[in-house]
Amino acid sequence: MVPEIVRRLVATIPVMGVVAIAVFALLHVTPGDPAVIIAGDYATAEDVAKIRAKLGLDQPFVTQVGIWLGRIVRGDLGTSIYSGLPVTTLIGQRAEATIALTLMSMLISVGVAVPLGVLAAWKKGSLIDRAVMVFAVSGFSMPTFWLGFVLVYVFAVSLHWLPVQGFQPIERGFWPFLRHLILPAITLSLVFMALIARMTRASMLGVLSEDYIRTAFAKGLAPRRVLVRHALKNAALPIVTIIGLGFALLIGGAVVTESVFALPGLGRLTVDAIIRRDYPVIQGVILVVSGVYVLLNLVVDLVYVVVDPRIKY
C-alpha cells in the first residue's frame, strides 16, 4: 500500500505541471492587459511599458512560463499585481473561511442525503420515495445565488435568527463561528445533497434486489441492521466516489456563495482577482485547488480499500 501511495503522489507531479501550464496559457490569451489596469486611465504608453517590464510581461511567453514554474518549485506563487502581497499570504488569509464552509457543507450534505437515499430505496415507489426525488430534482434546479438570497430574507432579515453576511474565525468563539456559516453552508450543500441522495438511492436499489438481502430479511433481522450493515456497506463505493468528486462542486460553488454572503474566502478572492486581471492570484488559487482535487482523488482510492478489502492496488 505504501509504495502505491508514493507512486501515485509522484504521478501527480506531471499532472500538476500540465495544469499549471494550461492555466498560465489560458489567462494570457484572454482579453485585457494587467499593466493597463494598474497604470490607470490617464497613463501614457511609456508608463504602461515600464509596468509591463517590471512585471515581466514584455518577455516571450515561454520565458514567462519557465520563470513561473521555477517559482512554483520553490513554493513561490508570485506576488499580487493589485495588493503587492505574496499570493501564498493571500491564500493563507482566505483559506480558513473556504475550508470551514466546504467541510460544513459536506457534513450537512452527507448527514442528510445518505439517510434520505437509503430511505427512498427501501420505500421504493412510496410517497416517501417520490418526496425524496422531488427534493433531489428541486435541489438541482434552484440556482445557488437565488437560494442564498431567499434564506437571507427569511432567517436573517425577517426572523433575525442569523447574521446576514460576514465570517467569524473559530478562535473568537464556536457559536459566532457557527452562526455565520449555517446559511452559506445550507445554500452550498443543497445541490450536492440532491446529487448524493440520488446516487445513494440508485446504488441501494441495486443492492436491495440481491438474494442475500432478501435472506437477511427472511431471517427476521431488523430492517435498520440490514439496511446499514449489509446493504449500505455494499453500496458504498459509488457513494464514496460521488462524495470525493463533490468537493470540486463545493469549491466551485463557493465562488457564488461567498459572494452572496460576503465571506472572505478563496472564492471571493478569485472573483476579485478576475475583475482586476490579477494573474498571479488567479493562477495561484487555481493551482492550489487543482492540487487539492488531485489529492482528494487519491484519498478516495484509499477509502475504496477500507470499504471493500477485495480491492487491491
Q: Please, what are the domains in the chain?
A: 2-73 (no CATH), 90-307 (1.10.3720.10)
Alpha-carbon separation of residue 150 from 145, 158, 163, 166, 207 (angstroms): 9, 11, 14, 17, 38
Residue 313 has pLDDT above 60, yes or no: no
Q: Which amino acid is at 28?
A: H
Over residues 68-106, the pLDDT tens digits come to: 788 888 888 888 877 888 889 999 888 888 889 888 998
Helix (H, G, I), strand (E, B) or coil at 56: coil
Residue 31 has pLDDT above 80, yes or no: no
pTM above 0.85, yes or no: no
* Whole-number pLDDT of residue 297: 78
Answer with the residue of higher pLDDT: 248 or 281: 281
Which SS3 state, helix, strand or coil, does residue 86 take?
strand
Q: Which residues contact 49 (CB under 8 A, 6 or more apart)?
A: 35, 58
- Grid coordinates representing 46 are 511609456
Residue with cell 457559536: 175
CA–CA distance, 236 with 176 (Å, rounded to integer): 35
Bridge partners (DSSP) listed for residue 79? 86
> How many angstroms separate the CA atoms of 275 and 38, rounded?
12
pLDDT band at 6, cuts 50/70/90?
confident
Averaged over 254-272, what is the pLDDT? 84
Q: Give me the residues paired with residue 86 across strands.
A: 79
pLDDT over 80 (residue 312): no
Q: Average pLDDT of 153-158?
A: 87
Ranking 51-60, 228-237, 286-295 by mean pLDDT, the lowest is 51-60
At residue 209's C-alpha, the angle toward residues 204 and 215, to 5°, is 110
Q: Is the pLDDT of residue 261 over 60?
A: yes
User: Of 132, 110, 116, whose CA–CA distance to 239 is shortest?
Assistant: 110
CB 191 within 8 A of CB 139: yes
Band the pLDDT of 4: cuts 50, 70, 90: low
State mean pLDDT over 290-296: 80
| CA–CA distance, 94 with 211 (Å, rounded to integer) | 51
Tell me the pLDDT band of 246, cut-offs 50, 70 and 90. Answer: confident
Q: To the nearest whole number, what is the mean pLDDT of the chain? A: 82
